[in-house]
């Protein structure tokens, strides 16, 4: 982040809970209805939850109480110590909005209270863009933070603080990166979120932004070009299409997806060897294979079968073939006579890919993100 707030929050950790409970007159209105605000955020969050700016664990505690699985991120060491004492069963890690360890499972909500204003508008956009990658469609951002309806409203609040002699609050209002609702709405929409707001007190707004599903602009000739690659959940096996011949035979094409699109891919030597192995070994288990070919995006293979539309049969064929790959001692046809690029092969890499795919066999039937 543009500013490093860790030392400030390390020091504030000693009095943070008394401040949010209204004992600091200058910040009493900022934290008005504090419990209600935290409960609103916790109620609207869907589990599993990724929380930024855990602080002393006040929101985290409510999320846990409501039975929601929380991954916490907090940059202040002293704040983390306090939060971990309160909540020993919660995973709370060092980090911030722009730098954090990815949770061990897919999160459905990203939440935060009184923290997003530490980012400039440019940093907010970077964070929101990353949130769009982290969340599934229908996933949401639920924040509560100081935001203003306009620059004029922000100036009015500053004048009010000045008249009351609230020097610390005035300095915060003048130096922190409090944004406006129109700017925040634009940043959310730009990254695929539909956002709505609820005013909680004179300073704080509840911000709830839902990730919307992308719409394909037009139907294209190639089946895979009409597949939303951001919505699938690899590894999986799916029927991708069928073509009927003039004499009644039907060729069925299956999408064998090994890697998550646009997140990871198979290295070419490993993919190349796996192609050779699958092409050769699969035919020991079935006579109706038309072709096995790698995808150009290096995330999977297409398997074409004659007159077989049974996914159970395909799962069985793929499993048997991959288990044969694990037993192989060499890559078939790995020479300059039988292969067009014989130098680009990796038997060990192919086995690793096969092993990874087999390890997740139980989810091959789940194609789209849940």
pLDDT in tens, 60-112: 999 999 999 999 999 989 989 999 999 998 889 999 999 888 887 889 999 99
Q: 6-211 architecture in CATH?
A: 3-Layer(aba) Sandwich (3.40)
| CA dihedral (119, 28, 8, 109) positive or negative | negative
Mean pLDDT of 229-255: 91
Looking at the chain, the whole-number percentage of residues with pLDDT higher than 90 is 71
Give the span between the Cα atoms of 261 and 370, in whole angstroms. Answer: 16
Considering only residues 12 and 337, tell me which one the structure prediction assigns the higher pLDDT.
337
pLDDT in tens, 118-145: 999 999 999 999 999 899 888 999 999 9
* Pairing outcome for strands 250-257 and 109-113: unpaired
Q: Is it true that the peptide bond before 79 is cis, omega within 30 degrees of 0?
A: no
Query: What's the pLDDT at 231?
Result: 85
Query: What's the pLDDT at 3?
Result: 53
pLDDT in tens, 305-325: 999 888 889 999 999 999 999
Reading across the β-sheet that carries 250-257, which strands appear in turn? 236-244, 250-257, 300-306, 289-294
- Out of 3.30.70.330, 3.30.70.1250, 3.20.20.410, 3.30.1360.80, the CATH code matching 223-363 is 3.30.1360.80
Give the span between the Cα atoms of 163 and 268, in whole angstroms. Answer: 68
Domain boundaries, the chain: 6-211, 223-363
pLDDT at 327 over 70: yes
Q: Is it true that the peptide bond before 48 is cis, omega within 30 degrees of 0?
A: yes
Q: Which residues pair with 305 in a beta bridge?
A: 252, 289
Please, are residues 148 and 180 in contact by the beta-carbon 8 Å criterion?
A: yes
C-alpha distances in angstroms, 261 versus 16, 127, 229, 252, 295? 43, 21, 6, 22, 11
**pLDDT, the chain, mean:** 91
C-alpha distances in angstroms, 123 versus 119, 156, 228, 291? 5, 25, 28, 48
pLDDT at 2 over 60: no
Give the span between the Cα atoms of 178 and 117, in whole angstroms. Answer: 5
Give the span between the Cα atoms of 268 and 109, in whole angstroms. Answer: 36
pLDDT at 365 over 90: no
pLDDT at 12 over 70: no
> Could you tell me the pLDDT band of residue 16, with boundaries at 50, 70 and 90?
confident
pLDDT in tens, 157-209: 999 999 999 999 999 899 899 999 989 999 999 898 999 999 999 999 999 99
207's enclosing H/E stretch is strand 204-211
φ and ψ of 113, to 5 deg: -130, 135
pLDDT at 5 over 70: no
Rounded to 10 degrees, the C-alpha dihedral 64/65/66/70 comes to 0
């Amino acid at each position: 982040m543009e500013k490093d707030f860790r030392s400030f929050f390390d020091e504030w950790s000693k009095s943070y809970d008394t401040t949010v409970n209204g004992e600091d007159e200058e910040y009493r209105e900022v934290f008005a209805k504090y419990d209600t605000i935290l409960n609103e955020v916790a109620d609207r969050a869907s589990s599993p939850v990724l929380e930024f700016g855990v602080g002393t664990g006040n929101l985290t505690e409510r999320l846990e109480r409501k039975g929601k699985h929380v991954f916490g991120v907090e940059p202040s060491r002293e704040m983390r110590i306090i939060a971990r004492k309160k909540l020993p069963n919660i995973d709370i890690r060092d980090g911030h909005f722009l730098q954090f360890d990815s949770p061990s499972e897919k999160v459905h909500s990203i939440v935060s209270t009184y923290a997003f204003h530490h980012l400039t508008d440019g940093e907010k956009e970077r964070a929101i863009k990353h949130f769009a990658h982290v969340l599934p469609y229908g996933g949401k951002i639920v924040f509560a933070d100081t935001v203003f309806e306009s620059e004029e409203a922000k100036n009015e609040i500053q004048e009010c603080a000045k008249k009351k002699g609230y020097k610390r609050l005035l300095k915060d209002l003048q130096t922190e990166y409090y944004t406006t609702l129109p700017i925040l709405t634009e940043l959310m929409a730009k990254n695929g979120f539909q956002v709505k707001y609820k005013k909680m007190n004179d300073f704080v707004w509840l911000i709830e932004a839902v990730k919307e599903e992308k719409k394909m602009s037009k139907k294209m000739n190639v089946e895979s070009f009409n597949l939303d690659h951001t919505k699938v959940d690899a590894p999986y096996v799916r029927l991708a299409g069928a073509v009927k011949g003039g004499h009644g035979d039907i060729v069925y094409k299956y999408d064998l997806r090994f890697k998550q699109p646009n997140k990871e891919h198979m290295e070419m030597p490993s993919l190349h060897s796996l192609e050779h192995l699958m092409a050769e070994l699969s035919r020991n288990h079935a006579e109706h294979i038309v072709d096995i070919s790698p995808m150009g995006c290096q995330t999977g293979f297409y398997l074409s079968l004659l007159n077989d539309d049974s996914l159970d049969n395909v799962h069985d064929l793929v499993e048997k073939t991959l288990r044969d790959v694990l037993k192989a001692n060499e890559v078939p046809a790995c020479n300059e006579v039988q292969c067009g690029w014989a130098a680009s092969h990796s038997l060990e890499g192919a086995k690793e890919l096969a092993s990874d795919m087999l390890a997740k066999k139980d989810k091959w039937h789940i194609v789209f993100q849940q």
